[in-house]
A and B are shown apart, each in its own frame.
Chain A
């Protein structure tokens, strides 16, 4: 059904008129031109399409856009503040925590959500929290290290 929906996207109020059953992933990528959020599997298995809705990681390929009406959505593009990378983005760079970079936006967003819920996760908790985000290049070791460093940075550990 075509509806006009309102939500906050990366700190900006947006209003879109769309078929509200369409998945958020595609509305972000095509209607709104935010292509940082990636398609990897379309069925909720890979996490490439992860965005934050109310600070929680959500798979945008499985989220009908009507469900985010009135909510606060943050995509990878929204993490950059005044040109400055978010601590998780920074530690991903410091650890070279990617190769092709395709899984990276989803990994970073998922890590943000994880750290929001649990600012001091143990290594095992990070593994569990990142488990369903897939990376084919095998950057897992560095991603874990980057999330550990980001946690330290965020809680002011250094």
Chain B
């Protein structure tokens, strides 16, 4: 997520840390406390905030008198399993059992400032800093133990939180004993050495999710599960279409519902009740009329509209001379690719609970950015931000859709107006209507095959998707990559758009990998061999080869009738190659993905099982955007408001899934929650072509489109 996107979401990236000294001492108590900084501090954050507030760190860990290690971070757990992988890193560096690690996450009162949880940044950015802090804590503890046991540090070793003299295991002292009754505060200096991969006992081993018991027993609490005695549930009136203005409203009948409280604040109208279902049924009794929406596009005309709305392009990359490249070409290819809007539709709709007491507010919210929410809420209430506490309980999925926090602001507004604790839990229809969709997009590519069979030029123009994944990794002497969006201050979309799992990359990879396949076919080459010949990146070649071996790829000219497809991609530092096998029903155009093999190189893998689960999740979710997911709309009205028409992947869609993670422990860990989704669209498109010779230029690849693209006769 880039800064522009952050601004769009209303974040104050420079929000200061509001953990005051008193609070900090209260939380940390006695024990050994290590303060550390993760790469993403802002200059403002690093400036002392006056007084003696600790402001130049944004995470800390504590080894308590009970021997337990707690790490406090503003990151959140939304299913990606970081609770487990971060715990593993800390356990590794400190030589303790993972069971003795507590991750305290997503509470703005306990945890230092954090920008938010997205972009596969947690393991990449936070991981190394956390390991460093763990290593340094271990060093301090070893020095203390050396003192206590009267031996030099190098005579000591640690197992399960007990420091012992190597020559005499009976001569030992535990971390708990060392920290008992002391208060030691250290800043991480970067001097301790983190373990090398050959020393790992915990990193690189598979661990089960630590939140398992809570989640299978229904005890895990999500925001909507919170309840307070004076709490009211809100049901909020929505217009039928985006941009439609309220023209008249009659709330009489709703007011007659026993216990219903009506809030009317300009256009913002809500019913509150101690039961959420009663609030909803009362809401349906409100008679409201709305004017027309100012938007005139629909899901068919939107692409033309976007192309017309585009401003001047931003050059993302360019090299050589396109014209020279074109002159050198034996064949020139020119194609346009389309992708419709997609909903995030996490199973848990957005929810927030707001409690205002005097000049303090506490907010529980399903948010990927507790600290962003805190600033938004403080601004809305006109409170100093230290008076606002935001807590993110478990999130029922995020996928990029829970970065802005409109539901929290709605709850704040209602809590302020009623003086009650208020829960706003969106209905599924609210969720679809209010979602910030993955943007519809167009990609125009011109490219050429050189007379010698290589690629001569590449002119890639992406409209509105975004830039992530727009670059390529092939050997092409002349290329240009440009990104077009709406001119500053204008919005071409009829509703909010935003980051959706691996933002932009799904669209860009679909277009790029389809175009590569088209060129390979024209060159008379096998899709795998063509890529291996033209890939510039050695890592990508290794990954593609690993996928081919697992898949059992046999070279053939496409369309071979077998329904095999390939796509390569790069996301969040991770390199990925996917091969799929599909079956296409020629009569209906229906596509069934039978098998998916996905290989990826993500550097050091902390929890192989956790990483595998993320890959499987990406592959399964990727079937949705590739084959079915599409928001239908007309003049600002969203036609898909539930899962009856918005089709997400189901059990019967499930292909055989095989994953390969390349062993590369000497490189820094890279993102794992998103990469494997980016290749799904491209691989399936190429497989459909291989199956029946139908080239699909638009996602989702619904039966009608496949059928229409089928070669005639």
Are B221 and A46 within 8 A (Cβ)? Answer: no
Q: For the complex, is B644 an interface residue (Cβ under 8 Å from A)? A: yes
Are B651 and A101 within 8 A (Cβ)? Answer: no
Are A46 and B275 within 8 A (Cβ)? Answer: no
Count of A-B contacts with CB under 8 A?
176
Within 8 A of A (CB), among B213-244: 213-222, 224-225, 227, 233
| Chain A residues packing against B (C-beta within 8 Å) | 19, 22-23, 25-26, 29-31, 33-43, 45-46, 48, 75-77, 79-80, 85, 89-90, 92-94, 96, 98-105, 108, 126-128, 130-144
- A33 surroundings in chain B (CB, below 8 A): 227
A144 to B394, CA, bound (A): 24
Q: For the complex, is B654 an interface residue (Cβ under 8 Å from A)? A: yes
Are B218 and A105 within 8 A (Cβ)? Answer: yes
Q: Mark B374-408, 1 if CB is under 8 A from A, else 0.
A: 00000000000000000000111111000000000
A22 to B278, CA, bound (A): 8
- A34 surroundings in chain B (CB, below 8 A): 218
- B233 surroundings in chain A (CB, below 8 A): 30
Are B427 and A46 within 8 A (Cβ)? Answer: no
A139 to B80, CA, bound (A): 12
A85 to B218, CA, bound (A): 11
- A80 surroundings in chain B (CB, below 8 A): 217
- A94 surroundings in chain B (CB, below 8 A): 208
Given contacts A138-B619, A140-B649, A142-B613, contact A108 B216 (CB under 8 A): yes
Given contacts A96-B208, A131-B652, A138-B619, contact A45 B644 (CB under 8 A): yes
Q: Tell me which of A75, A96, A103 contacts B347 (CB under 8 A).
A: A103
A38 to B215, CA, bound (A): 12
Q: Tell me which of B220, B227, B275 contacts A101 (CB under 8 A).
A: B220
- B349 surroundings in chain A (CB, below 8 A): 39-40
Are B347 and A22 within 8 A (Cβ)? Answer: no
Are A76 and B217 within 8 A (Cβ)? Answer: yes
Are A85 and B79 within 8 A (Cβ)? Answer: no
Q: Tell me which of A42, A101, A138 contacts B620 (CB under 8 A).
A: A138
The binding surface of chain A is classed by DSSP as loop
- A93 surroundings in chain B (CB, below 8 A): 208-209, 212-213, 216
Q: Mark B339-358, 1 if CB is under 8 A from A, else 0.
A: 00000011111000000000
Are B396 and A102 within 8 A (Cβ)? Answer: yes
Shortest beta-carbon distance from A64 to chain B in Å: 11
A-B contact pairs, 12 of them (CB 8 A): A30-B233, A35-B218, A38-B224, A41-B642, A46-B347, A76-B218, A85-B213, A96-B208, A98-B79, A108-B216, A133-B651, A144-B651
- A144 surroundings in chain B (CB, below 8 A): 651, 654
Most buried by B among A48, A90, A135: A135
Q: Which residue of B lies closest to A129 (CB)?
A: B651
Q: Tell me which of A39, A126, A132, A141 contacts B425 (CB under 8 A).
A: A39
Q: A100-B396, A102-B396 are in contact. List 18 more A-B contacts (CB 8 A).
A: A25-B277, A30-B276, A33-B227, A36-B217, A38-B348, A41-B428, A90-B216, A99-B617, A104-B215, A105-B218, A134-B347, A134-B650, A138-B616, A138-B620, A139-B613, A139-B617, A141-B620, A143-B651
Q: For the complex, is B211 an interface residue (Cβ under 8 Å from A)? A: yes
Q: For the complex, is B609 an interface residue (Cβ under 8 Å from A)? A: yes
A141 to B399, CA, bound (A): 19
A64 to B606, CA, bound (A): 47
Q: Tell me which of A96, A131, A138, A142 contacts B618 (CB under 8 A).
A: A138
Are B395 and A127 within 8 A (Cβ)? Answer: no
Q: Which residue of A lies closest to B425 (CB)?
A: A39
Are A100 and B394 within 8 A (Cβ)? Answer: yes
Are A101 and B211 within 8 A (Cβ)? Answer: yes
Q: For the complex, is B669 an interface residue (Cβ under 8 Å from A)? A: no
Q: For the complex, is B274 an interface residue (Cβ under 8 Å from A)? A: yes
Shortest beta-carbon distance from B647 to chain A in Å: 10
List the 5 closest pairs (A to B, CB-CB), nearest first: A36-B218, A102-B396, A138-B620, A100-B79, A101-B215
- A104 surroundings in chain B (CB, below 8 A): 215-216
A108 to B619, CA, bound (A): 23
- A92 surroundings in chain B (CB, below 8 A): 212, 216
Q: Tell me which of A40, A85, A126 contacts B216 (CB under 8 A).
A: A85
Q: For the complex, is B657 an interface residue (Cβ under 8 Å from A)? A: yes
Q: Tell me which of B81, B397, B619 contacts A136 (CB under 8 A).
A: B397
Q: For the complex, is B473 an interface residue (Cβ under 8 Å from A)? A: no
- B213 surroundings in chain A (CB, below 8 A): 85, 93
- A98 surroundings in chain B (CB, below 8 A): 79, 209, 215-216
Are A137 and B617 within 8 A (Cβ)? Answer: yes
Given contacts A102-B222, A102-B348, contact A85 B651 (CB under 8 A): no
Most buried by B among A35, A38, A99: A99
Are B218 and A136 within 8 A (Cβ)? Answer: no
Most buried by A among B219, B394, B396: B396
Shortest beta-carbon distance from A5 to chain B in Å: 16
Are B428 and A42 within 8 A (Cβ)? Answer: yes
Q: Which residue of A lies closest to B619 (CB)?
A: A138
Q: For the complex, is B621 an interface residue (Cβ under 8 Å from A)? A: yes
Shortest beta-carbon distance from A4 to chain B in Å: 17
- A40 surroundings in chain B (CB, below 8 A): 347-349, 428
Shortest beta-carbon distance from A91 to chain B in Å: 9
